[in-house]
Structure 1
Amino acid sequence: SILQEPADKFGNDPSVEMMWAVKAYEHAETYFNILISVDPTKLKLCKLDNELYSKFRGKFKDLKIDKIVENDIKSEEAKQQWREFCEEFNSQVADWNMATLLRLDSSLDVSEHNTIIVPRTQFLAIEIARNREGLNSDLRTKYSPKRIKDSNNEPTEK
C-alpha cells in the first residue's frame, strides 16, 4: 500500500495526508466501538500490554489520563520523554510510530475536539492504562456502537 512507503518520498502531498487522516479516524472509531462492546478491563490491545503498562506507569506515574491536558504530553520536555519511551518499543510494536488519534477525555466519544494525534505506542500505553484503571468502563452505558464508513466511503458495521 502507498501508506507503507517512506514519508520523504511524498513531501507534503495532501492526498497522502488525507489517507493517513482517514486511516487514523477509522482506527479511532473502530477502537471506540470495541470499547463500548466489551468490558475494557479485560481487553488486550497487543502482546506487550503488560510491559507497556508497567513501563508507562513507571515513567509517567503522575500523568493524569482520565482527562489529558495536551501540554502534559506535547510540551518539549514531555515529547522528549515520550520519544524515548516509544523508541524502546520500535522493534516490538507494529507501526509503533504511526499517527493515531487519542481521546483527550476518556469519558467522551471520538470527535474533532476530543482527539489529538500521537504515535501508536503512546496511544497503546495510555489506552492500556485507561482500560486497566477502569477509566473506559462507563462508556458502554453512555454510548452504543456506530456504523462508520470505510476508506471507500461504504458503511460498515464495526
Structure 2
Amino acid sequence: MAAAGLAGLAGLGPGEAAAAAQALALPAESFGNDPRVELAWAARAHQHAQVYFNLISSVDPKFLSLTKVDDRIYEEFRRTFRDLRVDVLDPEELKSEPAKEKWRPFCLSFQDLVEDFNYGTLLRLDSRRDYSEENSIFAPRIQFFAIEIARNREGFNDDVYSRKSR
C-alpha cells in the first residue's frame, strides 16, 4: 500500500471521512470512479492487512480459523488449484484472463457462505515477507481466504510467526 494513499485519507475532514464511510455501505455500481471512495476502500484494505499480519505474527498460524467454513474453502481450493504455489504467488496465476476464468466460479461458489466474499483485500505475494507496495496485490476476499488458509495449514506463514514471536 502506498504511503501516499494513506496520507490522502488523513487529509479528509471529518465530514468527508464520514461520507466516504457511509458510501462504502452502498453497492459498487452506485459509483463512478470517486477518488474519495477508492481511498476509503484502500484504507480499509490496508487496515485489514495490518490486523491479519499482526495476527499471524502473534498466534501460531496452524491454529487460526479465518472463517466458519475454512475446511470447505481449503478443500475446494486444493481441489480446484491443486498445483498452485501459495508460498510465493505469481500474479499471472491470479489476474490473467485464463486465471480469472478459473477463479471466477471458485469465488462465486462462496457467495452465500462468506460475508463480503468479493470485498477488495490486500494479499501478500511472498508469504515470508510483510505487506509492502512491492509484495502486495489487490484480491477478492475469498481469494485471500483460500490462499491464506492454505498458507496457514501448509506451514508457509510459520516464518512470520517464528520471526515475530522471538
What whole-Å deviation, never above 9, does each CA across 1:79-121 have from its counterpart, x for those lacking one?
1111110000001100000000000000000111100001000
The partner residue of 1:4 within 25, 30, 50 is 25
The partner residue of 2:84 within 45, 49, 63 is 63
Q: Aligned partners of 1:2, 1:12: CA distance in 2, in Å? A: 12
User: Alignment RMSD, CA only?
Assistant: 0.9
1:138 offset after TM fit, Å?
Answer: 1.5
Q: Aligned partners of 2:161, 2:61: CA distance in 1, in Å? A: 9
More helix, by proportion:
2
Match of 2:3 in 1: none
CA contact (8 A) 2:127 2:156 kept: yes
Q: Percent identity among equivalent residues?
A: 52
The partner residue of 1:74 within 95, 115, 121 is 95
Match of 2:65 in 1: 44
Match of 2:40 in 1: 19
> Which sections of structure 1, spanning at least 5 residues, go unmatched?
145-158
> Which sections of structure 2, spanning at least 5 residues, go unmatched?
1-21
Structure label with greater radius of gyration: 2
Equivalences, count:
144
Match of 1:53 in 2: 74
1:74 offset after TM fit, Å?
Answer: 1.0
The runs of at least 4 consecutive aligned structure 1 residues that moved more than 3 Å come to: none
Q: TM-score, normalised by structure 2?
A: 0.84
Q: Aligned partners of 1:92, 1:35: CA distance in 2, in Å? A: 24
Which letter maps to 1:95?
D
Q: TM-score, normalised by structure 1?
A: 0.89
1:142 offset after TM fit, Å?
Answer: 2.4
1:131 and 2:164 aligned = no
More strand, by proportion:
1
1:73 offset after TM fit, Å?
Answer: 1.3
**Higher relative contact order by CA 8 Å / sep ≥ 6: 1 or 2?**
1
1:52 offset after TM fit, Å?
Answer: 0.2
